[in-house]
Amino acid sequence: MDITTLCIHGAKNNTHNTGAVSVPIYQSATFAHLGVGKSTGYDYSRVQNPTREYLEQTIAALENGIDALAFPTGMAAITALMELFSIGDHIIVSDDLYGGTLRLFENINKKNGLKFSAIDTSNIEEVKKHINPETKAIYIETPTNPTMVVTDIAAMAELAKANNLILIVDNTFLTPYYQQPLNLGADIVLHSGTKYLCGHNDTLAGFLVTNSKELSEKLRYIYKTTGSCLSPFDSWLLIRGIKTLAVRMDKQQENAMKIAGWLTTQEKVKKVYYIGLPTHKDYEVSKRQGKGFGSMISFEVDTEETARNLLERLNLILFAESLGGVESLITYPIYQTHADIPLEDRLARGINEKLLRLSVGLENADDLITDLAQALSKEESYEI
Ligand SMILES: *Cc1c(COP(=O)(O)O)cnc(C)c1O
């Protein structure tokens, strides 16, 4: 079945037998037993809830995994994921990860005895050099945030397999509609469901998906024990959001393509990071491993003043953190999403005062361009 159809009809299970076209919200903490040792399949909602289960099965089907677990945020999913590891375990991670993920590794997981090497994972030779007897996993994001570095997932999976490592891929930016890391050899996919999967800037969620029975069992145990699970209502909002994932992503990508092209022609725009531009250094890898390029664009303007003016003057595009929703949002990575990373590291990765990150939404592309054009064109200076 095509993924577009899967988005709408989801996983077919029999959690509802009323004919309801919309999956019911089972707002129940607990479920009555039919007798001693007899269960309806549901006992207590921390372990499983029919609405959440429907969502999880849908996500598993979209990513071609055997199991998916739904969390209240992306960070909660990564926190649970880290419980797979023990004191002394070493994990190789991309140095350009989502800021919150690096903060978790650096300030929480390290304190609990895990070791990390944050390196350029788009360079496979670098990754090879960092593997040691304690290494247990490779954790990547592709494309990365905000400078859109792409890692060859299949090549990384091959390296992981050869060294008995778990390959974890954060697939938030492209979603299974454009990229399916499990099919390319990854072991675990994770999502901030808050972004494209939800798609409406109104709900937080996170997911872990795997195609390994062993990992599924371990993660389910951690899940029911640590208790970080998505509520029935938020599960329903996610089910609803996913129905339009395909059309949203296609239209947002079309808008992004137009805007990225326009940005490259602007005098005050010095660099454009969009993986859909043939001039992007990883364009060929992106084309090979995915079905699309998504709608995240970062761009560098000529001065900090231009960047600050732009953020103040935009009318339609909202200056707000987050991404992937129907409303276009712009952020200032150096001061927002990546504020916790040491300044030197930020600058070394191209995250400077001139860099802005744009999540292109579903508005008319020409309206968005008009907004960017007026915000870039005004001349008066900004008072710092
Ligand atoms: C937002 C985000 C996260 C964290 O997810 P939350 O839902 O905000 O907790 C993790 N990874 C990426 C790539 C993200 O964009």
3-state secondary structure 12-44: CCCCCCCCCCCCCCCCCCECCCCECCECCCCCE
Residue 15 CA to ligand 1 centre (angstroms): 30
The domain ranges of the chain are 3-242, 246-376
Q: 130 near 92, Cβ under 8 Å?
A: yes
For residue range 199-244, list pLDDT tens digits in order: 999 999 999 999 999 999 999 999 999 999 999 999 999 999 999 9
What mean pLDDT comes out for the span 27-51?
A: 95
Q: What is the pLDDT of residues 87-144, one digit of tens each?
A: 999 999 998 889 899 999 999 999 999 999 999 999 999 999 999 999 999 999 999 9
Work out whether the CA dihedral 162, 168, 173, 177 comes out positive or negative: positive
Q: In whole angstroms, give the CA distance from residue 194 to residue 75.
A: 10
Mutate to test the pocket of ligand 1, among 169, 174, 195, 359 (most ligand atoms within 8 A of CB): 195
Rounded mean pLDDT, 53-61: 97
Question: What residues are labeled active site?
Answer: 46, 98, 170, 195
Specify the pLDDT at position 208.
98
Dist CA 326 CA 342 (whole Å) = 32
Q: Give the pTM.
A: 0.95
pLDDT at res. 382: 47
Q: Is the CB of 195 under 6 A from ligand 1?
A: yes
Ligand 1 centroid from CA 298, angstroms: 17
193 alpha carbon to ligand 1 midpoint, in Å? 8
Cβ(71)–Cβ(230) under 8 Å?
A: yes
Phi, psi of 8 (to 5 degrees): -85, -45
Mutate-to-test residue for ligand 1 from 71, 94, 96, 98, highest number of ligand atoms within 8 A of CB: 98
Q: Which CATH architecture has domain 246-376?
A: Alpha-Beta Complex (3.90)
CATH architecture of 3-242: 3-Layer(aba) Sandwich (3.40)
Residue 383 above 80 pLDDT?
no
pLDDT of residue 15: 58
75 CA: nearest ligand 1 atom: 9
Interatomic CA distance for residues 158 and 83, integer angstroms: 24
pLDDT mean across residues, the chain = 94
**How far apart are the CA of 39 and the centre of ligand 1, in A?**
36
Does residue 145's CB lie within 6 angstroms of at least one atom of ligand 1? yes
